[in-house]
Amino acid sequence: MPFDGRILSGVSVLAAVVEGGSFVKAAELIGITDSGVSRAVGRLEARLGVRLLDRTTRSVTLTDEGRRFYEEVKPHLVAMEDAAAMASGAASAVRGRLRVDIDPFFLPLVLAGRLNLFCERYPELTIEFITSEHVGDLVAEGIDVAIRFGQPRRASLVARKLIEAPILTVAAPAYLERHGRPAHPDDLAAHRCLQFLDPYTGRPFDWEFIRDGESIEVETRGPLTFTDPKSLLEECLAGTGVAQVIGWGVGAMLDDGRLIDIFPDWHGERFPLFAFHPSRKHPPAKVRAFIDYCEEIVRAL
């Protein structure tokens, strides 16, 4: 098939529909009418001979053929955007919109309340935070960067480890008054422990304790399992059970006595925080700036 510039134009419109989630949002993104978006997608479908989108009154989603096509062309669109940015000098300018897939613990308990300085530094940048169960296909989902705890699971992504966070085992004074304070991690087998679900395995995270080179795993159980770390922390504060939490974000609660660090000598376990972004020759300046700021925040904690 000879090159047809109308295909490239149609693909750009399709990308706007996928990113915006609707014809209306796509029209706003690229500055044409809703009907213009619909006609451009229709012409692309006619040219390719396949239906790319399923349209209802409430939503627009890619068909199976549309998803395969979009996943093939999206990296080329990204490459063209990078080339255009380099040519225009925009690669060194922090502006536009940044879509961040953010860890459900890191955003509310670490980053929230500390973003004002970043906004002041880069007034031409807007950020959209998204929290999903786990890191997916960043390119297909239109995500610029992901900030997540845990080891990288996608070889196609560029991973940068920002820091390693301590894991603390904590409980509220009310719980310890009722059930007693465990003297050793093994004692937790007889306690009510709040579980946190690993989205990748579908099973609660293991409880591991490290001290002076000694490492032990304790089989814990309890009536409540969470996917939301903030809810788990609220139940721990209410005296429902013992929890393992990332050390950041709970310092004030430990200082004022709302939480007790049960095993202060067993802080050897660490949980790494990573920044992920799609593999590109020239990562956008907005991505680099946000990753640097997250690292600045965590190293100051």
Give the residue with greater pLDDT, 79 vs 121.
121
Residue pair 250/262 in contact (Cβ under 8 Å)? The answer is no
Per-residue pLDDT of 23-60, as tens digits, reads 888 888 778 888 888 888 888 888 888 888 888 767 78
Q: What is the 3-state secondary structure (H, E, C) of the chain?
A: CCCCHHHHHHHHHHHHHHHHCCHHHHHHHHCCCHHHHHHHHHHHHHHHCCCCEEECCCCEEECHHHHHHHHHHHHHHHHHHHHHHHHHCHHHCCCEEEEEEECCCHHHHHHCCCCHHHHHHCCCEEEEEECCCCCCCHHHHCCCEEEEECCCCCCCEEEEEEEEEEEEEEECHHHHHHHCCCCCHHHHHHCEECEEECCCCCCECCEEEEECCEEEEECCECCCEECCHHHHHHHHHCCCCEEEEECCCCHHHHHCCCCEECCCCCCCCEEEEEEEEECCCCCCHHHHHHHHHHHHHHHHC
Per-residue pLDDT of 13-23, as tens digits, reads 888 888 778 88
Q: Are 5-88 and 94-301 in the same CATH fold?
A: no
If one looks up domain 94-301 in CATH, what number appears? Answer: 3.40.190.290
Tokens 């960067």: give the residue.
145
Q: What are the boundaries of each domain within the chain?
A: 5-88, 94-301
Residue pair 135/154 in contact (Cβ under 8 Å)? The answer is yes
Residue pair 52/41 in contact (Cβ under 8 Å)? The answer is yes
Dihedral sign computed on CA atoms, order 99, 104, 106, 111: positive
pLDDT at 1 over 70: no
Partners of residue 167 on adjacent β-strands: 246
Token pair listed for 45: 């479908």
Q: What is the pLDDT of residue 231?
A: 92
CATH architecture of 5-88: Orthogonal Bundle (1.10)
Q: Band of the pLDDT at 83, cuts 50, 70, 90?
A: low
Q: What is the pLDDT of residue 256?
A: 95
pLDDT at 251 over 60: yes
